[in-house]
Amino acid sequence: MSFELHTENELADLDAMAGEWQVPPEYGERSAPGGAPKIRSISEVASIREYAAQKIDFMVEGIIAAGTVTAITGESGAGKTSVVSAMCSAVERGVPFAGLETQRRPVLMLDKENPLPVVVERFDRLGIQDGPNFKVWGGWVLEEPPAPFSPIIIEWVTGCEPKPLIVVDSLVSFHGGNENDATETRAYMQGFRRLADLGATIIVLHNSGKADSAKEYRGSSDIKASIDVGYHLANLGDSSQLGTLRLKAFKARFSVQPEIILNYRAGRFEIDQRGAMRTNQEILQQLLMDNARALGKRFEDMAAEKGVARNKARDFLASGIVAGTIRVDKGQRNMRFHTWVGTDTEGLL
């Protein structure tokens, strides 16, 4: 099975593509040749049934729906690009991802985040490769990656059948403006909606923040408002390497898998069927909530019994004291008793 990625008048390969990278001022306007509007009367607006299918069509079973905009967020190094790269390879070949069924589609990854050696190492580790229907356009190509909704991308999407999957890594790398500015961010995110309206499926990778108000994503609230589905990816184990990951939805305009636990071993992702797992932060918070006035040493011992390293327990106490979510009461011989005083969900991913 092969895909016709371009019309006969287009170049057959993205590597050879060239064109204007900037979005023209008239971007998004639907006008006929000469500037006359195509729709001259409200009565000419067709029924929604003429434009699209009547049900959500998942490209990746229960996770990524075709023709929608999805954000996957998480801390730097959490494994976002590895998960999505493996997902893209599965979609391009039409094979299951972590046991989830996929639809075969052309794939384009726009990458301003990673150098070529890192991308090659990741693909080798995952046992995947790019090809005619799986293009990775990064800074190492003759022309740098264009804006996701530049004319060259819009032309490609229009010529693709079936419509493609486009990954943007990362939002801040391509945004070019202030991600905290609501007006700038809303206008930028609207470009992804235009691509989705053309039939493309968009996955945008973005970092989460450190503040409690930015645990799901960093930047303006218009990022969340502009997407159809948002997932936060968390590494539940050693942050220095991939192991057990949690993909948890924080926004969904339609029904999706609310939470998936992925195990990574030897270049493969598999769904953990044991159900939801908790992060170290959640384990430590619950532990302190259940053991008010805990001494530091005793708390470390209890954390170790739960499988959480002692240094992580110490860091949890120290950061909680600074944030005001943990109260310290001093006793005799300079003993320090720790009590959780934050809300049940404060500080959790």
Indicate if 180 and 216 belong to the same structural domain.
yes
**pTM listed for this prediction:** 0.71
pLDDT tens profile 96-153: 999 999 999 999 999 999 999 999 999 999 999 999 999 999 999 999 999 999 999 9
Q: Which of 271, 302, 319 is the last residue of a domain?
A: 271
**What gap in Å lies between CA 89 and CA 97, rounded to an integer?**
9
Does 72 map to a domain? yes
pLDDT tens profile 318-342: 999 998 999 999 988 889 999 999 8
pLDDT tens profile 299-309: 998 888 877 78
Residue 333: which domain range? Answer: 280-340
- How much of the chain, in percent, has pLDDT values that exceed 70? 84
Indicate if 197 and 308 belong to the same structural domain.
no
281 with 349: CB under 8 angstroms?
yes
Q: How many domains does the chain have?
A: 2
CATH number at residue 50: 3.40.50.300
**What gap in Å lies between CA 32 and CA 196, rounded to an integer?**
21
CATH number at residue 312: 1.10.10.10
Q: Which of 241, 271, 301 is the last residue of a domain?
A: 271
Does 1 map to a domain? no
Start-end of H helices in the chain: 80-93, 116-126, 151-159, 171-175, 182-197, 221-226, 280-290, 296-305, 310-323
Indicate if 181 and 238 belong to the same structural domain.
yes
Using CA atoms, how far residue 178 sits from 171, 218, 223, 276, in Å, is 11, 11, 12, 35
Indicate if 287 and 145 belong to the same structural domain.
no
Pick the closest to residue 81 from 116, 114, 124, 115 (CA basis).
114
